């Protein structure tokens, strides 16, 4: 499974490629890179959210409620 650091690295690279493609006005390439950046961002945020929820599950239920407020 990919790590968050690797996903962030790929995301930055894709964003730079998107910036270059937007200068060239290549509509097909721009659309493809926009989709890729959204997908990578979702994937990275999903992994971090899953890790956060796992940490919360380790705590007692009473402590979880106070932490979320």
Task: Say whether pLDDT at 67 is over 70.
Answer: no
Whether 14 contacts 36, CB under 8 Å? yes
CA geometry: angle 11, 22, 17, nearest 5 deg: 30
Q: How far apart are CA 9 and CA 12, in angstroms?
A: 5
The residue ranking higher by pLDDT, 43 or 26, is: 43
What percentage of residues in the chain have a pLDDT greater than 90?
48
Which structural domain range is residue 43 located in?
Answer: 4-68
Q: How confident is the model at residue 42 (pLDDT cuts 50, 70, 90)?
A: very high
Confidence (pTM): 0.71
Number of structural domains the chain divides into: 1
Q: What is the predicted pLDDT for the residue at 16?
A: 94
């Amino acid at each position: 499974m990919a790590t968050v650091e690797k996903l962030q690295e790929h995301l930055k690279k894709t964003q730079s490629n998107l910036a270059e493609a937007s200068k060239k006005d290549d509509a097909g390439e721009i659309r493809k890179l926009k989709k890729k950046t959204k997908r990578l961002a979702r994937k990275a945020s999903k992994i971090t959210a899953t890790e956060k929820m796992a940490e919360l599950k380790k705590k007692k239920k009473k402590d979880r409620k106070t932490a979320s407020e």
